[in-house]
Chain A
Amino acid sequence: MMGLSAAIQPYNLMIAVIGLVLGIIVGVLPGLGGANGCAILIPITFAMPPTAAVILLACVYWGALYGGSICSILFNIPGEPWAVAVTFDGYPMAKSGRAGKALVLSSLSHGVGAVIGVFLLTFFAPIIAEFALKFGPPETAAVMILTFSAMTRLGGKSALKSLVAIFLGFILAAVGMDIVSGKLRMTYGTVPLMGGFSFIVAVIGLFGIGEMFLTVEEGLKMEGIKAKVRLKDVWDALREMVRHRKILMMGSLIGCWLGIQPGGATPASFMAYGFAKGTAADKDEFGKGASSGIIAPEAAGHGAGTSATLPMITLGIPGSPTMAVIMGGLMIWGLQPGPMLFKEHADFVWGLIGSIWVANFIGLFLVLAFAPIFAAILRIKFSILMPVIIYVCAIGAYAVNNRMIDIYYMLIFGIVGFLFKKLDYPIAPMVLALVLGNLAESAVRQALIMGRGNPMIFFRPPIALPLMLLALFFFFLPTFSKWKKSLTAKKAGVST
Chain B
Amino acid sequence: MRKADIIVALGLMLVGFIVLADTIRLGFGWGMSGPEAGFFPFYMGLGIVICTFFIVLRGLKTYKKEGAGKRLVAEGGLTQILWVLIPAAGMVLLTELIGLHFATVLYLGFYMGVVGKMHWFKVILISLLIPSATYIVFDKLFLIPLPEGLWGKYLIPF
Contacts and interface: CB of A to CB of B under 8 A. Distances in A.
Contacts of A382: 116
Given A171-B44, A216-B80, A407-B95, 7 more contacts: A160-B58, A383-B112, A388-B108, A395-B134, A399-B138, A407-B92, A415-B85
A404 B96 contact: yes
A216 B83 contact: yes
Given A174-B40, A186-B19, A384-B126, A390 B145 contact: no
A-side interface mostly: helix
Interface string A143-176: 0000000000000001011011001101100100
Contacts of A383: 111-112, 115-118
Interface-centre pick from A174, A387, A423 (highest chain B CB count, 10 A)? A387
A158 to B, nearest CB: 8
B107 A449 contact: no
Contacts of A185: 22-23, 26, 37-38, 41
Interface in A436-453: 441, 444-446, 448-449, 453
B104 A391 contact: yes
Contact of B73 (A217, A398, A446): A217
Interface in A158-217: 158, 160-161, 163-164, 167-168, 170-171, 174, 178, 180-181, 183, 185-186, 188, 209, 212-213, 216-217
Interface residues of B, number: 71
A386 B44 contact: no
A139 to B, nearest CB: 18
Contacts, number: 173
Nearest to A175: B41
Given A170-B40, A394-B100, A217 B107 contact: no
A5 interface: no
Interface in A51-103: none
Interface residues of A, number: 58
B130 interface: yes
Interface-centre pick from B1, B83, B100 (highest chain A CB count, 10 A)? B100
Given A170-B44, A171-B19, A423-B8, A402 B112 contact: no
Nearest to A182: B37
Interface-centre pick from A47, A163, A167, A382 (highest chain B CB count, 10 A)? A167
Interface in B119-143: 126, 130-131, 134, 138, 142-143
Interface string A23-56: 0000000000000000000011001000000000
B158 interface: no
A462 interface: no
A486 to B, nearest CB: 18
Contacts of A284: none
Contact of A217 (B36, B48, B74, B126): B74
Given A170-B40, A185-B38, A188-B22, A213 B72 contact: no
